[in-house]
Structure 1
């Protein structure tokens, strides 16, 4: 077999090929660093806001924005909520009904509508709902996917599928 010369050293082609395969394998199969999509901002002086943004799909394939928030107030109290935003004009939330969270194992939890707290100056848009998930979130098992059922004015509920990765990210908010 012919040898390949590299800096005066003779390398057999099979060894060279094996070395090249090892190098390529290390590059291809080395895990990439994970990037958390949690953001932290000072919302107001002394009020820290942590948030996770997810895009979720409903039963018709429409995309929705889901933003989980944790606010920490200067005196140390905190709140955790979930804001769900649909396409304007496509839906009007029924603010008298809670959000229903149903696991794939059949466990059901509810979260109170707190949309009136989004802004003190103007009412929340009809396509935006915000729910207090502080008590429900710790009860969820991060490995089990979730279904959110959003009540609407017309009586037709909207169902959003929440993958386990989103639940895990939302639960990390609790630790801040």
Structure 2
């Protein structure tokens, strides 16, 4: 049987050891299975300083041109118990320059439209926020969304060409979990 396997594997002019062949087949199988499974982000928890917690969810979103954006939902809980829930959107450098005078528009596939105020000036008091980064207060909007209904974000840009980002329902569910008390 072993001789048969070796002859079968070495049908061309290169001989491959049975163990290498088996490892290669297993590796390829894992790649196929691994690539077919959906990727789920995880809510991380960080203690920024005593009594102040930061919860984050990171997602990659595609715009209408196929470019990838990073979306980071934050919940910052202050020592006295107040909480801020925001969404930071980042286009890669050289991408869109965001218009921070306009709100973010959230539109469900059923036509429900909500807005979120730009709070980019709150990101850092020491340095200017880069043009490709925007942060929005989404606490109220998240409470009005149904997690099962896909969402589209419309990001205003300085050139007047709004960018549309598709948000899968899994991301909405994760953001709502992050925002819950």
* Distance across 1 between alignment mates of 2:40 and 2:93: 30
Conserved in 1, the CA contact under 8 Å of 2:72 and 2:89? yes
Partner of 1:135, secondary structure, is helix
Structure 1 gaps of 5+ residues are 1-31
Give TM-score, length-normalised by structure 1. 0.79
Partner of 2:140, secondary structure, is coil
Give 1 or 2: higher strand fraction. Answer: 1
Is structure 2 residue 117 aligned with structure 1 residue 112? yes
Give 1 or 2: higher helix fraction. Answer: 2
Q: CA RMSD in A?
A: 1.7
Q: How does 1:39-78 map to 2 (within 5 A)?
A: 39-78=44-83
Aligned residues: 145
Counterpart for residue 138 of structure 1? 143
Give TM-score, length-normalised by structure 2. 0.77
The higher radius of gyration belongs to 1
Deviation at 1:51, TM superposition (A): 0.7
Distance 1:93 1:75, change over 3 A: same
Structure 2 gaps of 5+ residues are 1-36
Deviation at 1:123, TM superposition (A): 1.3
